[in-house]
Amino acid sequence: MCGRYSFATSREKVNKHFGLSIETELEKRYNIAPNQKAYVIMNDSPKELVQLKWGLVPHWMNKNGANSNLINARSEGISAKPSFRLPIRKKRCLVLADGFYEWKSYGRKKLPHRIVSKESQLMVFAGIWDEWQDKKTFTIITTTPNEEMKWLHDRMPVILPTLETQQKWLSDLPLKEALKLLKPMEDNTLRIYPVSDRLNKGEHDAADLWTEIKTPPTLFDS
């Protein structure tokens, strides 16, 4: 599962990577939580950066659709799931990030950890979107963990590592070929470190969440 992530990258870096022409400064977000708006690039407008609500609402939902909160979509079997089978074929998007968070238990305490690229690169997640009552929403696709993530969590976002794979994801790539892109990040590409549990509060959204802290001692420490 991916339940929190961040995106505080400059527009210059985004413009250079994607060949865009964003003129206004981007909102810096250090603690993006479900149901909040975040930056994505949609397949039907690949030269635009837009903000959509994180938490997909399927187009076929009834009046209770506003309560839908599909923040993640498992890559396994995604093409057959009612909520995802149309978006995975026709409504793909790139979710822009520079890191994400997962929690690990130390005794009775659960501590968040930040996961970033060792090369300080953009971290572009594979996503899908849908539209319900004129409201567009998105979800992040997850997969099994790579070697670095296994000790921390049994899922991780699908990270599209190159501009080529990112462009393929937004293209009219046939379903069978698109599904081949939904795999774990290569090993030895990520840095993982513990951060403050202030992250647990969705309203706390500041750069101090990126500061590495010491893990608490456990009964097994000498």
Identify the DSSP state of 172. Answer: T
Question: Does the annotation mark 23 as catalytic?
Answer: no
Q: Which residues contact 82 (CB under 8 A, 6 or more apart)?
A: 58, 60
Maximum Cα–Cα distance across the chain: 58
Distance CA 18, CA 47 (A): 8
Question: Does the annotation mark 102 as catalytic?
Answer: yes
The full DSSP string for 114-129 is EEEETT---EEEEEEE
Catalytic residue (choose from 2, 131, 164, 186): 2
Of the CA atoms within 13 Å of residue 44, those in its CB half-sphere come to 9
Whether the CB-CB separation of 4 and 32 falls below 8 Å is answered with: yes
Catalytic residue (choose from 27, 102, 131, 186): 102
Active site residues: 2, 102
